[in-house]
Amino acid sequence: MTVEPTPVTVFTGFLVGAGKTTLLISQLALLKQLPKNYKVAILKNEYGDIKIDSALATQSNGNLAGVTEMLNGCLCCVLTGQMRAAIIELQEKYHPDRILIETSGSAFPATISIQLRDLAKEFSGQASGQGIRLDGVVNVIDVENFTGYADTSKTAALQAQYTDLIVFNKWENVSERQFDIVWDRVNDLNTDTPKIKSINGSISLEAILGIDSKLGLALLEAPRHQGSHDHAGHGHDSDEHVSEIETLTVKFPKKDLDGKELTSFFNYIEIAPKDEIYRMKFVVRLPGSALPAASKSDSSDPRTYILNWAFGRYEFTLISEEAAPALLDDYLAGIGTVMVGRGDGRRFRKRLSSGILGDGVKVEL
């Protein structure tokens, strides 16, 4: 008996902070509308070597079957050969009804779609349950910052061009005129693709399920040599692509239980240069009373939080003990990544190691 292929939805968005993870998690919450036996598996791709976001997804919904994170590279170049194995593992382990892929912020969607096309052909007609089909590519646009990088990054423009649905995110934080400028810029890049606004980082479930990818169909019809050579016409140079960002790993040493060792770090996230630092992701364990004023609670017991910082805005998310990643066995205070522009890694390593994040903090490039 031939098993129906598993639909795959791909989320893209330039660099970090566009809102891909928030949108993906909101879709998991909406899955409660579907039967309880409808299961979703997630494949997350991230620069850096620390699994942080899995905890956010894991505690979000009972329809989530499992999460796999692919670190230290991008699916469309460095990790290109590993996506096949990851998808097969998700299918064999969880037997999902749908797979959601969140790409790194520098991913070229056409390249990933080509890989999915090849997998679809490889498993076509098999009864193993490993068959897949590309259901759609969703591009998340950070309206607050899009005009700042659309003209300087080939990747940002390509993500807006090679997609089946464009989601305008964070539009609530800008003026109507600013939004119109972004809308016009995106229309210059891609006139025909449907475009919608998110509501607090979320869109309807119907907008995601059943997109019926035009990009996927086009790539299925394209000759193999055309797709693999120029990636649907954009001349992908993997060296240029990989160097678009550099990632620093920051580790806070084990100290007291009151969280005071993070005071310097919390002061820094208030003033960190948003035009130089793209994103910070950390997992920290400390009392809620030790958090910055905007996030502080009355709790005096150590709890695990995930910090997401992007373009000067940040949020602490409390993680249940069951979902908390096992990253802090050796680091009581916290561990995480700081993402900066290409060529800035060594400079920021020196700056962040100078003591502005606190005593004894280790910064690795």
| pLDDT for the residue 225 | 41
Domain ranges of the chain: 6-241, 245-364
pLDDT in tens, 198-237: 988 888 887 777 665 555 444 444 444 443 334 333 344 4
Other C-beta atoms within 10 Å of 342: how many? 11
For residues 336 and 283, the answer to whether their CB atoms sit within 8 Å is yes
How many residues are there in the chain? 365
User: Torsions phi, psi of 351, nearest 5?
Assistant: -65, -45
Burial category of 121 from C-beta neighbours within 10 Å (exposed 0-12, middle 13-18, buried 19 and up): exposed
Average pLDDT over residues 250-274: 76
Q: What is the DSSP letter of 191?
A: S
Indicate whether this model's pTM tops 0.95. no
* Alpha helices (runs of H) in the chain, residue ranges in sequence order: 20-30, 53-58, 82-94, 109-122, 146-149, 154-161, 176-189, 205-208, 214-221, 224-230, 238-242, 263-271, 345-351
For the cut 80, the answer to whether the pLDDT of residue 64 exceeds it is no
Contacts of 46 (CB under 8 A, 6+ apart): 53, 69, 70, 71, 104
Cα 196 from Cα 140, distance rounded (Å): 10
For the cut 50, the answer to whether the pLDDT of residue 241 exceeds it is no
Residues in a beta bridge with 309: 280, 314
**Averaged confidence pLDDT in the chain:** 76
Residues in a beta bridge with 139: 12, 166
For residues 180 and 152, the answer to whether their CB atoms sit within 8 Å is no
| pLDDT for the residue 257 | 47
Residues in a beta bridge with 70: 45
| Least confident interval from 46-55, 259-268, 297-306 | 46-55
Pick the more confident residue, 226 or 37: 37
| pLDDT for the residue 140 | 92
For the cut 60, the answer to whether the pLDDT of residue 41 exceeds it is yes
| pLDDT for the residue 255 | 63
Other C-beta atoms within 10 Å of 327: how many? 20
Pick the more confident residue, 295 or 202: 202
| pLDDT for the residue 85 | 85
For the cut 70, the answer to whether the pLDDT of residue 130 exceeds it is no
Q: CATH number of the domain at 245-364, please? A: 3.30.1220
- CATH class (in words) of the domain with range 6-241: alpha beta
Dig out the tokens for 247 from the structure.
């990632």
The residue to which tokens 């892929």 are assigned? 101
The CA–CA distances, whole Å, from 9 to 44, 109, 146, 175, 178 equal 12, 11, 23, 31, 30
Reported as a pLDDT band with limits 50, 70 and 90, residue 300 is: confident
SS3 223: coil
Tell me which amino acid residue 311 is: F
Reported as a pLDDT band with limits 50, 70 and 90, residue 169 is: very high
Cα 72 from Cα 316, distance rounded (Å): 24
| pLDDT for the residue 16 | 64
Other C-beta atoms within 10 Å of 246: how many? 21
For the cut 80, the answer to whether the pLDDT of residue 360 exceeds it is no
Tell me which amino acid residue 343 is: G
Average pLDDT over residues 92-112: 85
| Least confident interval from 25-34, 187-196, 303-312 | 25-34
| pLDDT for the residue 181 | 93
Contacts 24+ apart (CB under 8 A), 59-64: 59/319, 59/320, 59/322, 59/323, 60/25, 60/28, 60/29, 61/28, 61/29, 61/31, 61/32, 62/32, 62/36, 63/28, 63/31, 63/32, 63/34, 63/36, 63/38, 63/39, 64/28, 64/31, 64/39, 64/40
- State the pairing for strand pair 313-319/40-45: unpaired
